Amino acid sequence: MEFQWYPGHMTKAKRQMQEDIKLIDLVIELVDARIPLSSRNPDIDELGKNKSRLILLNKYDLADPAVTTAWKKYFTDKGFFVVALDSRNRKGMKEVTQVILDACAKKIERDRARGIKNRPVRAMVVGIPNVGKSTFINSYAGKACAKTGNKPGVTKGKQWIRLNKNVELLDTPGILWPKFEDQQVGLHLACIGAIKDELLQSEELAMELCKIILNRYPGCLNQRYQIDETAELPVILEQIAENRNCRSKGNVLDYNKAALLLIDDFRNGVLGEISLESPDDLKEMA
C-alpha cells in the first residue's frame, strides 16, 4: 500500500510561520512518543534554527518507556530540550514550565541586563495532525487561559494566550504539515491516525502494523488475541477475526472489522506500551 499525504495550504502555512517566528523566543514542537522521528515536521529545524527549541514527546503513556528514554537522550544530544508527557491526563505538565524557562535562560538574562524584568517567554507550539497539539494547549492553559490582546507588530487576528505569568503562547492557525517521500514514515503516520483513515486500506494497514509489532514485541499479539504469531499475515488477521468474533451478515468472517479492531487497540494502548521506531533504527540505516 502506498501512503499519500496531501499537505493543504503548505505554502501559505510556511509563509505565515516565517512571519510569526520573528515574534517568538521558543519553538515548542509536539511529536508522538511512539514515532518521534516520523511525526516531526522536517521544515521546523530550518524555520526555527535561531530559536530555543523544546520537543515534547506526547502520548508517552502509549509508548515503550525504555525507547522513550532513548529518544530523550537522542534529542538532548542534538541540543534540544525534551519533556515526555501525557497531555490528556496532565502527566509531565508541571515539568514543562521549568524546562521552558531553562530553554530561554539566556534570553531572560539578556532582558534583565537591559532592565527588562518579568517579560514572559513567547512561545509557538507546532505539530502535525493528531500529535495532541490542541490537547496540550488546553491542558497547559487550564481554565486560566486568557487572551492578552494584540502585541505590537502582530498582524490583526493573532492573539497571545497568557498560559501563566512566565509564558505566553502565540495562538496562530498556521500549522505546517510534513511532506514526506519515505513510505515508512507514511506507514507510521497512518498507524497513529495522522492520515485520514478514509484514505487508507484498513486490512493492508493492519497487516503492516502486525509486521512491526511481531518484529519489535513478539508475544504481544498472541497475548491479546490468542493467535499463532508464526502464521502468515493474512492468516493472523483471519485468526483475530475468528477469535474476536468479527463477522458480517451471514456469519461470514469480517476481515475489515478485525483490521479496525487491531488498529484501534494499538492506538488506544490496549496492546500495551509500543513504540514503532527507536534511535537504534538510525544506527542500522547508517
Among 17-21, 171-175, 250-254, top mean pLDDT goes to 250-254
Mean pLDDT for 48-67 is: 95
pLDDT at 10: 61
> Per-residue pLDDT for 175 more than 80?
no
67 or 47: which leads in pLDDT: 67
- pTM, rounded to two decimals: 0.88
10-29 pLDDT per residue, tens: 667 777 788 888 889 999 99
Least confident stretch, 11-15, 216-220, 241-245: 11-15
**Nearest alpha carbon to residue 280 among 216, 211, 214, 218:** 216
**Nearest alpha carbon to residue 56 among 93, 31, 87:** 31
85-106 pLDDT per residue, tens: 999 988 999 899 999 999 999 9
36-55 pLDDT per residue, tens: 999 998 888 888 888 999 99
The amino acid at residue 273 is: E
User: Chain-wide mean pLDDT for the chain?
Assistant: 86
Mean pLDDT for 257-263 is: 96
3-state secondary structure of 32: strand
Share of the chain above pLDDT 70, in %: 85
Task: Report how far residue 27's alpha carbon sits from residue 25's, in angstroms, rounded to the nearest whole number.
Answer: 7
pLDDT at 8: 55
pLDDT at 230: 96
> What does the CA dihedral 99, 104, 106, 112 come to, rounded to 10 degrees?
-110
Mean pLDDT for 68-97 is: 94
Mean pLDDT for 201-226 is: 96
> Per-residue pLDDT for 182 more than 70?
yes
pLDDT band at 1; cut points 50, 70, 90: low
> Per-residue pLDDT for 133 more than 90?
no
- Cβ atoms of 15 and 165 closer than 8 Å: no
157 or 4: which leads in pLDDT: 4
Q: Exposed e or buried b for every residue in 142-179, given b needs 16+ CB within 10 A? A: eeeeeeeeeeeebeeebbbbbbeebbbbbbbebbbbbe
pLDDT at 151: 43
